Amino acid sequence: MNRDSFSILGKLFLPVLILLFLSQSVFAQQVVTGTVKDAQSGEALIGASVSLKSDPTKGTITDVDGKFSLSVAQGQTLIFSYVGYVTQEYAIGQQTNISVLLDPSTEALAGVVVIGYGTQKKKDATGSVTAVSSKDFNRGSIVSPQQLLIGKASGVQITTGGGAPGEGATIRIRGGASMSASNDPLIVVDGIPLDNQGISGMRNSLNSINPNDIESFTILKDASATAIYGSRASNGVIIITTKKGVAGSKLKITYDGKVSLFTVPNSIDVLNADEYRTYYNEVYANNPNALSVLGTANTDWQSQILKSAFGHDHNLAATGSVKNMPYRASIGYSNSDGILLTSNMERYTGAISLDPTFLNNHLKININAKGMRENNRFASRGAIGSAIAFDPTQPVYTDSDRYGGYFEWLQADPTRPISIANLNPLSQLLTRYDVAGVNRFLGNVQVDYKFHFLPELRANLNVATDLSNSLGTINVADSVRQNYDIDADGNLIGGIDAEYKQQKKNELIDFYLNYVKEFGQSKLDIMGGYSWQHFYRKGNYFETNAAKTITNSDTDYESESYLVSFFGRLNYSLMDRYLLTFTLRDDGSSRFARENRWGLFPSAAFAWKIKEESFLKDVDVVSDLKLRLGYGVTGQQNITSGDYPYLARYTYSESTAQYQFGDGFVTTLRPEGYDANLKWEETSTYNVGLDYGFLDNKITGSLEYYYRFTKDLINTIPVPAGTNLTNQILTNVGNMVNQGVEFSVLGRIFSTEDLYWEVGYNVTFENNRITKLTATDDPNYKGVFVGYISGGVGNTMQIHSVGYPQYSYYVYEQVYGSDGKPIEGLYVDRNGDGVISADDKYMYHSPAPTVFMGLSTRLTYKNWDFALAGRANLGNYMYNNIDSGNGVNAYMYNTANYSTNVVQDALYTRWINPKYWSDYYIQDASFFKLDNVTLGYQFKNLASKKLDLYLSLTVMNALTITPYKGLDPEVYGGLDNNIYPRPRVFMFGVRLDY
């Protein structure tokens, strides 16, 4: 047994010990039986909770017929509750058989939401918590969980990385609180906080969770909600809860199938062959060398590599209950091609969830296991850039079988391609075989024990493991253009034979105790616990040429980190009107030196249910009103520079970076830069929120304002020269402020048996300012240059600068002629020194929208339903790198003797040399997108009433309205360059319920 598993057993031993030590006997009383039904439909409610008011830990749940049986003393009050219904109390007199009708409630306010280490009634929440459940998810051809949420919650922005199958997405909650460190929120799946490092061989590590298995997302936005996750909470928390079985329910089988057609919505406006010939002949009229390379073909390179594609997705789920053990099991299969040739994703998923209860409901066990196998083929995205730039007058294929028969640019000596010329885009895709397979297992066992001698006290143990295993290979033949190489004797020595592997093993043990007690008007809920998490990963990348005679790369890595935490929460409510929450977390991270390792993260929140006050109690128009105030401190330990940034380390050189001493080569040892004082980033958040409901909760929603101040920002900054073993170091420096207003409203316009229509809208106003950036305050210090573009080498377009939003564009102000056209190379001399130099650049807009909003509506009429979801971003600007990199004529002919295409903008500007830093290329990328339109019809009670059939038709990415000149206004980071086009998807869906 190795040291690791031994210590894990040691850690498990502790909470088990606690459970074993404590036991108590049970009291017996008279038995009351009854049924619980829906007050409107009269249908029996399965799994409704029945409990004693005086002792909420005693109770039961209704069975498959809505029946229950419970020992109750006379005069005691029973509480009946069920998700989505108004909770009812029932005082027991002489009766031994009662019938209870529960009224359906407005979900938003009565629901229970999952919070960190527990659940809470939404109406008792003091923090900023948004729940999005499966019925609100985006619909359509979705294989990535993130896509379910796009546009659904205020303050949450999700940008997919492009249109590849299973593409990942960037999630920003309230804009993110960090600069260099990760801005990704913490994602917690069934109580397991995941690492956010990604998995080799997958486009998106969250893909290991099948969207069909997800029950709900809970988004914790403000510090009073997230601080319980301490050092990982600064960027918000998303809790994903998967679907479970329902106690006492019958077997129910659901099949869900989708067939999708992915189409290419549009392409980048480059010159077609005739336009190109005309312009080329004009530009190079006096250059016979240039004219000699022009071809006679007419090739639309983009349509060569972007084609319509198909995908299908099948899911089979069974839920039910065996006695006291509800279960759910599901399998899924998904396979889609991307619209960029050769890209493909195939996924198998399986999930099992078991929730048995023992000891008269005192012991609940929850077991979740999710397994996944994903096979990917990756298409080289460089082919998109090549297709834009490839000369349209050249043919796709040649008569020669050299280079696989594809046309390629060759040196005068045809045994060598021109190394700096574009590759044939089609060859770039078809001759590269880049595949990966990933297995992942995510499992946990959660044991929840309610103490017999003290039912107010409950212990909860969660043990989880997250394993993944990736194997990828890349093969490129030595006879084709990419990676082509020959030695002096003419032998082929190029091509690629590469293999990469990764193993990840993350483990978690959480334990907490929870004590809930009511004292008259007061209610106290205290929770305290600890958590231990271990993150481990190991992998390598080995690359040789195709003949395996030359090793190009042989790297391996192995790393780990630990996080140990103690946490506690106190909820106090008075008269069910005044709610107070305090949380505290003490986190220790192995990524920092011993002295800086521990961080304390407190939060406090207060909520006032105004509606419960006497002056509002009888105002019918207001059905709900709650004010929330919160403050908290959270941290950020997800730094981007490895697991040992504080430690003095040395690194060996690879075999290709040795140095010659005499006749031999010496492997070198390099001291690494480090910051022994590196510590947590701290974010303080103030939050004011107002939850409202009007007209019997027909209109509900909330309004929030937040102010976030991040200090000790983990940022990569220049070190004072000579003081460290690097020129830039990750350290704690700088401050940043984020503030915003979020508003959401949900209106149920009709809510009758036949007609249901709701409209939801959310809007977020966001503002980000860097307030401090360096250790010293130098007014001449411009900032940190970021945002590398394509074109030239190492050119940056953005800056982090004090007083401006992060990632502001840093460019020259273009001068325009009287015809409104930009004049090449003419910029405004902003500092008035008579010359145009780098000092004339200025901050000009940023990629972040100042306002973004989501709009969705759902209409059900009898068996028909119709849903629509759209989004808008305003005030976001984009650097059009496609135009700036392909919009001038100087390089249409390269003296190495090949030609490249240009975009239509080149005909407009007629510029000669690249002018990357002209603000002409910074373009308004505000947009409205109609993300998805769905029409469905439900056939009920088919096949002797055993079967329901639901058919639907969905169009995704239906419409985009934008002033932006490029292909797609939505590119995370604001640098538009080689985006994988997002397809327009037409999907047909079938669901069968048995």
Partner 1 sequence: MKRFSKYVLLAAALVTGIASCVKDLDTVPLDKDEITSISVYENPASYIQVLAKVYAGLAVSGQQGPHGNPDISGIDEGFSTYLRQYWCAQELPTDEAVIAWNDGTLRDYQEMDWTASGEFIAAMYNRLYYQISLCNEFIRESADAKLDARGITGTDKTDIQGYRAEARFMRALSYYHALDMFGNVPFVTEEDGVGAFFPEQISRADLFAYIETELLEIEPLLPAPRTNQYGRADQAAVWSLLAKLYLNAEVYTGTAKNTECVTYCQRVIDAGFSLAPKYENNFLADNNTSPEIIFPVNFDGTFTKTWGGMTFIIHAAVGGNMVPGQFGIDGGWGGTRVTPTFVKKFYPDIEGNTVPGPVVSPKFIPKKTTYPVIYVPGSHQGWDPSNTSTVLASVNSDGKYEGYLNFAEAGTQFKFCDGPSWDVNYGDDGADGTLDRNGANIVATDAGYYKINVDLNALTYTFMKTDWGVIGSATADGWNSDQNMTFDAATGLWSVLIELKAGEIKFRANDGWDLNYGDDGANGNLEQNGANIAVPDAGTYTVTLKLGIPDYTYTIVRASYDRRAMFHTDGQNLEIQNPFAFTDGFAVTKFKNITSTGENGSDMTFVDTDFGLFRLADIYLMYAEAVLRGGTGSMTLALNLVNEIRTRAYTDESGNIAQGDLTLDFILDERARELYWEGCRRTDLIRFGKFSGGEYLWEWKGAAEKGTATDSHFDLFPIPVSDIGANPNLQQNAGYN
Element (H, E) at 149: helix 145-149
Write the DSSP symbol of residue 613.
S
- Closest approach, Cβ 670 to partner 1, in A, equals 5
- Closest approach, Cβ 4 to partner 1, in A, equals 10
The structure tokens 């530009």 sit at: 283
Looking at the Cβ atoms of 726 and 904, the one nearer to partner 1 is: 726
Task: Determine the straight-line distance between the first and last CA of the chain, rounded to whole angstroms.
Answer: 48
- Closest approach, Cβ 727 to partner 1, in A, equals 4
The structure tokens 């304002």 sit at: 705
Looking at the Cβ atoms of 608 and 781, the one nearer to partner 1 is: 781
- Closest approach, Cβ 459 to partner 1, in A, equals 12
CB 425 within 8 A of CB 432: no
Q: In 46-106, which residue ranges form alpha helices assigned H by DSSP?
A: none
Q: Centre a 10 Å sphere on the Cβ of residue 737 and count the other Cβ atoms it contains.
A: 15
What are the distances in angstroms from CA 978 to CA 261, 267, 340, 634, 885?
A: 23, 11, 12, 36, 11
| Dist CA 312 CA 989 (whole Å) | 10
Is residue 870 classed as helix, strand or coil in its secondary structure?
Answer: strand
Query: For strand 842-844 and strand 877-880, is the pairing parallel, antiparallel, or unpaired?
Result: unpaired
Question: Maximum distance among all alpha carbons in the chain?
Answer: 108
Looking at the Cβ atoms of 660 and 818, the one nearer to partner 1 is: 660
- Closest approach, Cβ 709 to partner 1, in A, equals 22
- Closest approach, Cβ 318 to partner 1, in A, equals 39
Strand-pair partners of 531: 510, 565
Please list, in sequence order, all residues whose beta carbon lies within 8 angstroms of the beta carbon of residue 522, skipping any fewer than 6 positions away. Answer: 572, 573, 574
- Closest approach, Cβ 732 to partner 1, in A, equals 10
Instruction: Show the tokens assigned to 98.
Output: 């009662």
- Closest approach, Cβ 537 to partner 1, in A, equals 10
Element (H, E) at 15: helix 3-21
| Dist CA 473 CA 470 (whole Å) | 10
Looking at the Cβ atoms of 196 and 553, the one nearer to partner 1 is: 553
What is the per-residue burial (b if ≥16 Cβ within 10 Å, else e) of 422-437? bbbbbbbbbbbebbbb
Looking at the Cβ atoms of 146 and 514, the one nearer to partner 1 is: 514
- Closest approach, Cβ 808 to partner 1, in A, equals 15
- Phi/psi of residue 206, nearest 5 degrees: -70, -15
- Closest approach, Cβ 847 to partner 1, in A, equals 21
Looking at the Cβ atoms of 519 and 661, the one nearer to partner 1 is: 661
- Closest approach, Cβ 769 to partner 1, in A, equals 19
- Closest approach, Cβ 887 to partner 1, in A, equals 14
Looking at the Cβ atoms of 7 and 96, the one nearer to partner 1 is: 7
Q: Centre a 10 Å sphere on the Cβ of residue 948 and count the other Cβ atoms it contains.
A: 16
| Dist CA 56 CA 747 (whole Å) | 34
- Closest approach, Cβ 464 to partner 1, in A, equals 16
Looking at the Cβ atoms of 367 and 823, the one nearer to partner 1 is: 823
CB 711 within 8 A of CB 635: no
CB 430 within 8 A of CB 403: no
- Closest approach, Cβ 643 to partner 1, in A, equals 7
| Dist CA 799 CA 807 (whole Å) | 5
- Closest approach, Cβ 879 to partner 1, in A, equals 15
The structure tokens 């509800």 sit at: 326
Looking at the Cβ atoms of 170 and 728, the one nearer to partner 1 is: 728
Looking at the Cβ atoms of 385 and 885, the one nearer to partner 1 is: 885
Looking at the Cβ atoms of 621 and 838, the one nearer to partner 1 is: 838
Is residue 554 classed as helix, strand or coil in its secondary structure?
Answer: strand
| Dist CA 953 CA 956 (whole Å) | 10
What are the distances in angstroms from CA 461 to CA 117, 370, 508, 839?
A: 10, 19, 10, 59
Looking at the Cβ atoms of 323 and 594, the one nearer to partner 1 is: 594
Alpha-carbon dihedral of residues 855, 859, 865, 868, nearest 10 degrees?
Answer: -10
Q: Is 857 left (phi over 0), alpha (psi -120 to 50) or beta?
A: beta
| Dist CA 578 CA 576 (whole Å) | 6
Looking at the Cβ atoms of 333 and 665, the one nearer to partner 1 is: 665
Looking at the Cβ atoms of 25 and 723, the one nearer to partner 1 is: 723
Looking at the Cβ atoms of 417 and 630, the one nearer to partner 1 is: 417
Looking at the Cβ atoms of 501 and 984, the one nearer to partner 1 is: 501
- Closest approach, Cβ 766 to partner 1, in A, equals 28
Half-sphere exposure of 191 (CA within 13 A, CB side): 26
| Dist CA 776 CA 111 (whole Å) | 50
241, with CB counted inside 10 A (0-12, 13-18, 19+), is buried
| Dist CA 545 CA 458 (whole Å) | 61
| Dist CA 887 CA 507 (whole Å) | 51
- Closest approach, Cβ 354 to partner 1, in A, equals 27
Looking at the Cβ atoms of 771 and 938, the one nearer to partner 1 is: 771
- Closest approach, Cβ 242 to partner 1, in A, equals 28
Element (H, E) at 531: strand 522-544
Among 303, 378, 373, which Cα is nearest to 338's? 378
Looking at the Cβ atoms of 156 and 477, the one nearer to partner 1 is: 477
Write the DSSP symbol of residue 122.
G
